[in-house]
Amino acid sequence: MTSPPAQSQDHPGTTGEMRPRPRDEMRDYVGRELLAGKRALVTGGDSGIGRAVSVGLAKEGADVALTYLSEDADARHTAELVEAAGRRCVTLGGDMAEERHCHEAVEHAVRQLGGIDVLVLHHGTQEPVKDVREIDAAQLRRTFEVNVLSLFWTVQAALEHLGEGSAIVITGSINGLRGNKTLIDYAASKAAAMNFAQSLAQNLMDRRIRVNSVAPGPVWTPLIPATFDEERVEGFGEQTPMGRPADPDEIAPSYIFFASDRLSSYYTGQTLVPAGGEIHPGA
């Protein structure tokens, strides 16, 4: 895609208001039954990367449960795309900052799908600032409850249902690898999320549950016009070596790779960095 023009919308943002519309429906993706018979829970699965991942998993044969904050129309559309791929899809709205909801999301997926084999923790929040002193206790708490604490709560609930050969994929960020001067608390939370994935991978090794993370660079999703001002949205992603942001469809295959035991059985504790040519050795 090309870099977007100036625009903004209310948080948490919707796909329908974005210009240009992102490629997030995996229209040209052809599955190979890599996840036939599997059941996946995708948090933040209503739009953007979460939508593309949900549809990609479905095209590989998985039934999908997805969570979302409040974007009902986007969640319904993603469910329709999953069902068009011939798989079941169930949705659950609510705030992942609440421990109770994290447990409910797991139980809802297990109850509706019969279990969980793949857990994709993709939900997140960000709020840019110009000065670190602008980050008050409420913002700091919100960022870490959504981006870090919820990961612990959801994994703790899911481990009762995840068996040998299951996979957990956690969304990190390029900002968690190299920081960001205006997304200070967000970058710190994503560094924590990726370290959590590495630690959890070691902890679950004996249970043969693989844990990996994906750290995308700039991706054109509703979160961008919903959290950045118009000036920053204009030209978003031009700083990458490729000179543009990614579409969600370009990021989703990293998650499918980690979800599939056939493709990534010897990968755990690793991070893939689809970042338009920005290189981070050792990630």
Could you give the residue numbers annotated as active site?
186
Question: Which residues of the chain form beta strands (DSSP E)?
Answer: 39-43, 63-68, 89-93, 118-121, 167-171, 210-214, 271-272
Crossing angle of the two packed helices 150-158 and 99-113, in degrees rounded to 10: 30
Contact 40, 118 (CB under 8 A): yes
Nearest Cα residue to 105 out of 162, 154, 46: 154
- Tokens representing residue 121 in the block: 């923790």
CA distance 70 to 210: 30
DSSP code for 98: S
Question: CA 137 → CA 133, 134, 142, 176, distances in Å?
Answer: 10, 10, 8, 21
Contact 67, 40 (CB under 8 A): no
Strand order of the β-sheet with 167-171 is 89-93, 63-68, 39-43, 118-121, 167-171, 210-214, 271-272
User: What is the rounded (10 degree) CA torsion for 188, 75, 54, 90?
Assistant: 120
Helix (H, G, I), strand (E, B) or coil at 250: helix
Nearest Cα residue to 256 out of 245, 246, 267: 267
DSSP code for 262: H
